[in-house]
Amino acid sequence: MDVNLIIMGAIAVLLIVWIFGLIRKIGGCLIHLLLIAAGAILIFAIYTGRLTIPL
């Protein structure tokens, strides 16, 4: 398996858990929404191969 796919999967799971925690606690702050969007863009960039993590 590709290492980037493993890393992307782990980041995606952590982000999903974190997002659900934020929704339950805060209910949506602008800064948190921006962080979630940045995380989603990062995952998309890794998934499409535009960003590779050198290991």
- Structural domain span for residue 25: 3-48
- Residue 14 confidence class, pLDDT cut points 50, 70, 90: confident
Distance CA 52, CA 48 (A): 9
User: Would you say residue 36 lies in a domain?
Assistant: yes
Assess if residue 53 is contained within a domain: no
Least confident of 7-16, 23-32, 41-50: 23-32
**Mean per-residue pLDDT, 1-28:** 74
- The one-letter amino acid code at 51 reads L
Structural domain includes residue 54: no
Q: Is 10 domain-assigned?
A: yes
Q: Is residue 31 part of a domain?
A: yes
Q: What is the pLDDT of residue 30?
A: 67
**Total domain count for the chain?**
1
The conformation of residue 55, written as its DSSP 8-state character, comes to: -
State the pLDDT at residue 54: 64
Residue 43 maps to a domain: yes
- Percent of the chain at pLDDT > 90 equals 0
What does 7-53 look like in DSSP terms, one character per residue?
Answer: HHHHHHHHHHHHHHHHHHHTS--HHHHHHHHHHHHHHHHHHHTSS--
